[in-house]
């Protein structure tokens, strides 16, 4: 190694004639242009150019503070009508069966409030409006408590769905990991099963499951669990396939079978990633559980849909705020658990 | 990454072999490129500490991986004799321990769990699932970890928290766990600094001697090989070009062989 001279070996071209590969080839550039053209066409089809015009118009309106004709826009005013948020629950006592004024619920009090009642005057056959004093039972945080109870139900749905999904997807992941599936047939079957589970949206399967199991949490749990199992099965399997091969090879060299190798050389590697995926699925299931409530599969979504249809936007506002806070808190919790595990 | 059919023979009881490992015309060709192993033949006497020397890509790893069944030879045979160990007739393969390059331990398991994982092939699935090894095996793992110089605290720490030298010590303990007659070591000190590398190699030689195991260890450090080996095999481009006692050759002349290409010319700076 003391020769120091860089002698050109046989069949080598000298270095100054070398051509280095360009970073972007003509093919890449052409492909990017093609993709941009397709996107432009698609944007036109999706009326995105129209959206830009409308947004600009709204911005101009806001700047000139001209309210315009509010009636033309059905979405106008919903936001204003959400405030103040509905926190209390007011129930006229004549609507409560066996009401006992001596035995009020905790923190509740009675209020008398004038209420306008329209009745048909039998003599004139005209609607007359008169004011009557009505006693209402006011629970100061009554509605909030109801919403919180509903959101807990929603979280329970998400928890059970995630739990069932994990239990279902572990064997699915083993069968659909290319390097551990016992047979190519089991691999293909498991892969397509996982894809099918993932392909059916929760909302659609929830519609069918509500038909099968009736309104309530069971349909929601099953719909979420099936979809999540498809999701987790795919990503668990991909983690197994991507795991570091060296510890697995060491186990194989010691004569270990698939199970021992998976348990001792693969599982410890993929566990943090599994935990992160599972937490993500739990977080997603909480959000999805509110959505599938819309089709009657239990939880806060059912309440939300009811209030929305009755134009009680102050209650809708409360529900949305509680959902937002819940997702935020769960996100913090998930981040904390992930930090502990990694 | 499935293992190939093992090419091992079990000795009949009482039939003491002179050779622990017999490699006969081992040849391995990959679809592209020259042969990784080209008719390599040699035998290892029981208790020998043999170093397999050679530059990168000379076929050292392929030979060791073939000997443990991770690579299937194109032609030729590798035979491993077993004369002792826990109930060899119950084993699927004879007791061979392997020390790999860095990164072969499960780095989220503790050092002790890694050592015990060597016994997993002989355990039931429930024991494997919960890593519940019998007490006498746990004691044995502790003794081995103590022997390779780890403390109780380090034995209970995840391997990724240990230093490179400590990890290779754990690797040696794992290789010793199932009472091997043969220990194969594939560049066990490639990732270590020279001083640590020497300590780990000395430990490998001492412990192998204590346990009566034959060692075949691949290295690329010539000085270390000359210092430690009973016998040196030199592989170059898949061919065995030197086989002899370490005392037969000076490190200088070995280095000369090491740095030649197949035509006998020294490698220059752009070649090789």
- DSSP states of B69-109: TSS--SEEEEEE----SS-GGG-SS--EEEE-STT-S-TTS
Q: How many CB atoms lie within 10 A of CB A57?
A: 11
B-chain residues within 8 Å CB-CB of A252?
1-3, 70
Closest-CA residue of A relative to B175 is: A254
A-chain CB neighbours of B96 within 8 Å are 253
Residues facing B236 on adjacent strands:
B239
Decide if A165 contacts A229 (C-beta within 8 A).
Answer: yes
B179 touches chain A (CB under 8 A): no
Cα angle B70, B74, B77 (rounded to 5 degrees) comes to 75
More confidently predicted of A39 and A338: A39
Query: What average pLDDT score do residues A134-150 get?
Result: 85
In the predicted model, is pLDDT for residue B149 greater than 90?
yes
Q: Please tell me the pTM assigned to this model.
A: 0.77
Q: What is the mean pLDDT of residues B23-32?
A: 85
**Banded pLDDT at B162 (limits 50, 70, 90):** very high
Q: Is B107 on the interface with A (CB under 8 A)?
A: yes
- Taking CA atoms, what residue in A is nearest to B174? A254
Residues of A in contact with B92 (CB under 8 A): 255
Q: Do B117 and A251 touch (CB under 8 A)?
A: yes
Domain extent listing, chain B = 1-95+180-272, 102-178
Q: Give per-residue pLDDT as tens, A261-310.
A: 999 999 999 998 998 899 889 889 988 888 888 888 888 888 888 888 88
Return the percentage of chain A with pLDDT > 70, whole number. Answer: 92
Determine the pLDDT at residue A12: 64
The alpha carbon dihedral of B195, B197, B200, B203 has a sign of negative
Percentage of residues of chain B with pLDDT beyond 70: 84
What would the pLDDT profile of B178-213 be if each residue is shown by its tens digit?
A: 888 899 999 999 889 999 999 999 999 999 999 888
**Chain A contacts of B108, Cβ < 8 Å?**
268-269, 271
Q: Is A316 exposed, middle or buried (0-12, 13-18, 19+ CB in 10 A)?
A: buried
CB pairs under 8 A between A and B: 95
pLDDT at B11: 47
The two tokens of residue A45 are 């089809």
- Highest CATH level, class, for B1-95+180-272: alpha beta
For the domain made up of A143-341, the CATH class stated in words is mainly alpha
Residue A65 has pLDDT above 80, yes or no: no
- C-alpha A256/C-alpha B217 separation (Å) is 22
Question: Residues of chain A whose C-beta is under 8 A from some C-beta in B?
Answer: 1, 3-9, 12, 179, 244-257, 259-260, 263-265, 268-269, 271
Cα–Cα distances in Å, from A61 out to A55, A175, B11, B143, B158?
10, 59, 94, 81, 63
- Phi/psi for A294 (5° steps) reads -60, -30
Exposed e or buried b per residue across A155-165, where buried means at least 16 C-beta atoms within 10 angstroms of its C-beta: bbbbebbbebb
Chain B residues whose CB is inside 8 A of the A245 CB are: 1
pLDDT the model gives residue A74: 53
Q: How far is CA B84 from the centre of its chain?
A: 18
Q: Inter-chain contact B98–A12, Cβ cutoff 8 Å? A: no
Q: Please tell me the distance in Å from B44's CA to the nearest CA on chain A.
A: 20
Q: pLDDT tens across A17-54, in order? A: 888 888 888 999 999 999 999 999 999 999 888 888 88
Domain ranges of chain A: 28-53, 89-139, 143-341
pLDDT of residue A31: 96
Q: What is the reported pLDDT for A208? A: 92
Of the candidates A1, A8, A248, which has its C-beta nearest B1's C-beta? A248
A75 CB-near residues (< 8 Å, 6+ apart): none
CA nearest B272 in A: which residue?
Answer: A9
Instruction: Give the tens place of pLDDT for each residue, B29-54.
Output: 888 777 888 888 898 888 889 999 98
Residue A333 pLDDT greater than 80, yes or no = yes
Q: Measured between alpha carbons, how far is B178 from A139 in angstroms, rounded to an integer?
A: 72
Q: What pLDDT, on the 0 to 100 scale, is given for residue B270? A: 37
What is the reported pLDDT for A112?
Answer: 82
Minimum mean pLDDT range among A40-54, A81-95, B12-26: B12-26
């Amino acid at each position: 190694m003391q020769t120091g001279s860089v002698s050109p070996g046989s069949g080598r071209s000298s270095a100054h004639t070398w051509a280095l590969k360009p970073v972007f080839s003509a093919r890449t550039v052409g492909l990017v242009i093609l993709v941009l053209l397709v996107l432009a066409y698609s944007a036109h089809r999706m009326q995105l150019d129209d959206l830009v015009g409308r947004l600009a118009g709204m911005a101009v309106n806001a700047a000139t503070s001209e309210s315009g004709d509010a009636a033309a826009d059905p979405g106008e005013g919903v936001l204003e009508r959400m405030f103040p948020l509905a926190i209390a629950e007011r129930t006229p006592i004549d609507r409560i069966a066996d009401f006992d004024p001596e035995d009020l619920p905790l923190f509740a009090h009675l209020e008398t409030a004038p209420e306008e009642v329209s009745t048909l005057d039998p003599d004139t056959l005209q609607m007359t409006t008169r004011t009557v004093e009505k006693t209402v039972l006011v629970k100061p945080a009554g509605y909030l408590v109801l919403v919180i109870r509903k959101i807990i139900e929603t979280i329970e749905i998400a928890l059970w769905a995630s739990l069932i999904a994990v239990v279902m997807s572990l064997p699915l992941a083993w069968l659909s990991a290319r390097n551990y599936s016992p047979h190519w047939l089991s691999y293909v079957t498991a892969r397509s099963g996982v894809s099918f589970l993932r392909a059916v949206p929760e909302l659609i399967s929830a519609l069918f499951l509500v038909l099968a199991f009736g309104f309530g949490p069971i349909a929601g749990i099953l719909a979420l669990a099936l979809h999540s199992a498809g999701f987790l099965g795919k990503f668990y399997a991909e983690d197994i396939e991507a795991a570091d091969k060296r510890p697995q090879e060491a186990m194989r060299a010691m004569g270990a079978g698939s199970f021992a190798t998976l348990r001792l050389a693969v599982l410890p590697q993929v566990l943090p990633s599994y935990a992160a995926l599972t937490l993500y699925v739990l977080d997603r299931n909480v959000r999805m559980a509110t959505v599938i409530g819309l089709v009657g599969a239990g939880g806060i979504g059912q309440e939300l849909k009811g209030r929305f249809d009755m134009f009680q936007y102050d209650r809708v506002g409360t529900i949305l705020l509680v959902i937002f806070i819940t997702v935020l808190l769960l996100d913090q919790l998930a981040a904390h658990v992930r930090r502990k595990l990694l | 990454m499935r293992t190939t059919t093992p090419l091992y023979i079990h000795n009949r009881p009482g039939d003491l072999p002179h050779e622990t490992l017999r490699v006969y015309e081992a040849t391995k060709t990959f679809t592209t490129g020259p042969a990784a192993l080209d008719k390599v033949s040699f035998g290892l006497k029981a208790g020998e500490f043999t170093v397999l020397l050679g530059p990168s890509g000379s076929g050292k790893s392929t030979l060791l991986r073939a000997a443990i069944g991770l690579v299937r030879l194109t032609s030729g045979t590798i035979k491993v004799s077993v004369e002792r160990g826990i109930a060899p007739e119950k084993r699927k393969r004879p007791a061979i321990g392997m020390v790999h390059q860095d990164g072969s331990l499960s780095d989220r398991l503790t050092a002790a769990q890694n050592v015990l994982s060597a016994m997993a092939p002989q355990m039931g699935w429930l024991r494997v699932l919960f890593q519940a090894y019998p007490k006498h095996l746990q004691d044995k793992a502790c003794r081995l970890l103590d022997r390779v110089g780890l403390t109780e605290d380090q034995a209970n720490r995840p391997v990724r928290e240990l230093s490179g030298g400590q990890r290779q010590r754990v690797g040696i303990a794992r290789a010793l766990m199932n009472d091997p007659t043969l220990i194969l070591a594939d560049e066990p000190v490639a990732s270590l600094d020279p001083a640590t590398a020497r300590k780990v190699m000395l430990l490998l030689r001492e412990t192998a001697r204590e346990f009566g195991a034959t060692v075949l260890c691949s290295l690329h450090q010539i000085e270390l090989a000359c210092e430690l080996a009973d016998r040196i095999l030199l592989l170059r481009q898949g061919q065995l070009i030197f086989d002899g006692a370490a005392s037969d050759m000076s490190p200088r002349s070995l280095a000369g062989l090491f740095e030649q290409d197949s035509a006998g010319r020294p490698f220059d700076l752009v070649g090789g």
